[in-house]
Structure 1
């Protein structure tokens, strides 16, 4: 998604102009647009004109309309959004208040205005427009003195850093200069990884090189991590994978990514953290039921006690028409983040999201047991009987 213009004031009112660039962006647009929002886009309208003799002709004209959205239909096959609503801006072809349907599709710019942009909507704009947010694979292709640090998204490879240093050649009886040069080079590459790889998002880091450069670098990096107690590297050690490449140039990445072992590892990353979090929730539900709850009422009570470690929530809940309820779900997400919890927003178009929807669409793994929430359920059941 390309962000053309963004103007949101401190009260949350404002507009954002976007151009969807791929089919997945239409899903983001579907989640951003709510009933009552205003959308401006170019469209074709059938216009009837009457001549002086009384005969009428109809022409199709392209015009730009702004409608207040009353109905939203997402065509998953054509990846197109149909928005129905009334015209709210003066137009030479369409009367104020007249109904019109806007079709939003890939590569067609639209402007979305909301009376209030909440944190979930703004976060979705950031995720949709920042390709690095979707890059869950990173790669370092290297050879002696040259390295490229790349982020790989489903659609492109982004080179985030190029490290090019001259390293003294090995000479008989004087290997020290060469070793010092390699240590300097490895340090630069390690700092590049720490600066450009977001381990919260990246699930796999490929280190590729000809010869033994990758092994020497891997050994150096984790020796340094132990020395400096670098928790980020130590906690993510399992994400690193050493593979062969013919050189340290970016084009070598292609052969790395076609390696069957790498393809299998990357397939795991695409299945993403959501599936694993849902599995953890089900496991917790069986082994420690006082630390796993679903349903809005229970999760809100757990959040009040700052007990939510991980919130699992379906994006379906942010598309509901009831503004008050939507605000409650946004407040829940904000509350969990403020108390240091993790929030996973599941796509209802994904299998894991469908499973979560069967559990009311909202669930939580708690930091500590809250058996009183279970007791409440039992006492309510007794009252009903």
Structure 2
């Protein structure tokens, strides 16, 4: 993302002009733009023209529109962001108040104005415009006949390619068809890696599978690399890492990213930091449950006592349409930081973010035990409220 202009005054009013340069930037734009914001960008509009004889012709013209955003649609596969809203500035082709849909595209700048900017939105801009925040981990999760080639960025787990090949079974006295099928499958996976993995950016390529599939594929790939002189693979051989996974499906990435060897290799990536924080939370929940809580009610009470050491919060919560609720979460993040705590904002498009969403989207590791928070659940139960250990009913 390129920052072309930024003016935000002390009252947190102002505009920011940005240009998305890669698909990841569309995800950042989706997190930045909320209903009620105004967005200015160029667009194509169909215009009806009436001639002197009464006949009409239509033409497509490029014009610049400013709309008050009422609806946001994000296509994660195509990485296209569509904003629907009413025109709020005079335009020769579009009446004031008329509805229009703006498509935000790569390499097309847009200007964003918010009723009030907050620290989370400004941080998102900083992160999006930092060139080091790129897809620095790739992963291939595979089993015989099935493979997913994924890119793990700071914000998303993107499935770039799904490969399915029918492999004949081994038959008594003949394994030729089976081996041919395997070779065809391995070839397609290798070509997919060459096509989708940018080795200039990627620091680590994980190859994960049950059994010996990963070893056989690795051997095949580098035999072919020598035979066909694939310099790209040979020069980056040290970046490949073989790890165990229970299957070739995307959800197996969760366990792959928790492997100690993988965490060590990816220690300088944000994705690993989130996975590690979530793993620590689960461990604390088992070993010292009075120091690990999730759910809005518990977290707010812990923050009041300045007890939060690490706050885990989903970016989903900052996309809520209720302005006051968003402010509540922003204030929570700021209070935890002011008290010397660490805040990890999880992406809902990342495997770790999906896990956090199952825990209400908000969790915390505490500096000291607060058993009174557990006791408050028991009191709620006695009063007939819906409650449970480490959970509450008013969380989002």
State the match for 2:71 in structure 1: 71
Residue 22 of structure 2 is aligned to residue 22 of structure 1? yes
CA distance in 2, matches of 1:371, 1:31: 35
- Rg bigger for which structure? 1
Residue 238 of structure 2 is aligned to residue 259 of structure 1? yes
Change (3 A) 1:136 1:47: closer
Change (3 A) 1:367 1:256: farther
State the match for 2:8 in structure 1: 8
Contact 1:48 1:58 in 2 (8 A): yes
State the match for 1:214 in structure 2: none
Change (3 A) 1:136 1:55: closer
CA distance in 2, matches of 1:367, 1:47: 62
CA distance in 2, matches of 1:355, 1:8: 35
Residue 123 of structure 2 is aligned to residue 123 of structure 1? yes
CA distance in 2, matches of 1:62, 1:116: 30
Q: CA deviation at 1:85?
A: 0.1
Change (3 A) 1:10 1:45: same
State the match for 1:42 in structure 2: 42
State the match for 1:281 in structure 2: 281
CA distance in 2, matches of 1:330, 1:256: 45
Count of residue pairs the alignment pairs up: 275
CA distance in 1, matches of 2:277, 2:64: 44
Contact 1:84 1:100 in 2 (8 A): yes
CA distance in 1, matches of 2:82, 2:14: 22
Q: CA deviation at 1:258?
A: 4.1
State the match for 2:54 in structure 1: 54
State the match for 1:292 in structure 2: 292
User: Gaps spanning 5+ residues in structure 1: where?
Assistant: 138-152, 156-203, 205-253
Q: CA deviation at 1:103?
A: 0.3
CA distance in 1, matches of 2:272, 2:369: 27
Contact 1:306 1:339 in 2 (8 A): yes
CA distance in 1, matches of 2:123, 2:237: 33
CA distance in 2, matches of 1:39, 1:355: 32
CA distance in 2, matches of 1:272, 1:312: 14
Q: Deviations over 1:92-137 (max 9, x none)?
A: 0000000000000211111100011100000000011122456989
Change (3 A) 1:127 1:304: same
State the match for 2:342 in structure 1: 342
CA distance in 2, matches of 1:378, 1:154: 41
Contact 1:284 1:292 in 2 (8 A): yes
Change (3 A) 1:342 1:136: farther
Contact 1:256 1:262 in 2 (8 A): no
State the match for 1:319 in structure 2: 319
State the match for 2:106 in structure 1: 106
| TM-score calculated relative to the size of structure 2 | 0.65
CA distance in 1, matches of 2:334, 2:236: 38
Task: Say which SS state the counterpart of residue 383 (structure 2) adopts.
Answer: helix
State the match for 2:85 in structure 1: 85
CA distance in 2, matches of 1:70, 1:349: 23
Map residues 121-270 of structure 1 onto 2, 5 A cutoff.
121-132=121-132, 258-260=237-239, 266-267=265-266, 269-270=268-269
CA distance in 2, matches of 1:19, 1:299: 36
State the match for 2:207 in structure 1: none
Contact 2:309 2:365 in 1 (8 A): yes
Map residues 352-367 of structure 1 onto 2, 5 A cutoff.
352-367=352-367
Q: Deviations over 1:209-258 (max 9, x none)?
A: xxxxxxxxxxxxxxxxxxxxxxxxxxxxxxxxxxxxxxxxxxxxx98854
Contact 1:73 1:82 in 2 (8 A): yes
Task: Say which SS state the counterpart of residue 384 (structure 1) adopts.
Answer: coil
State the match for 2:212 in structure 1: none
Change (3 A) 1:110 1:260: closer
Task: Say which SS state the counterpart of residue 48 (structure 1) adopts.
Answer: strand
Contact 1:23 1:106 in 2 (8 A): yes
CA distance in 2, matches of 1:80, 1:54: 39
CA distance in 1, matches of 2:234, 2:127: 29
Alignment RMSD: 2.5
Change (3 A) 1:380 1:87: same
Q: CA deviation at 1:366?
A: 0.3
Task: Say which SS state the counterpart of residue 259 (structure 1) adopts.
Answer: helix
Q: CA deviation at 1:274?
A: 0.3
Q: CA deviation at 1:154?
A: 7.4
Contact 2:267 2:273 in 1 (8 A): no
Change (3 A) 1:24 1:349: same
Q: Deviations over 1:327-365 (max 9, x none)?
A: 000001001100000000000001110110111100000
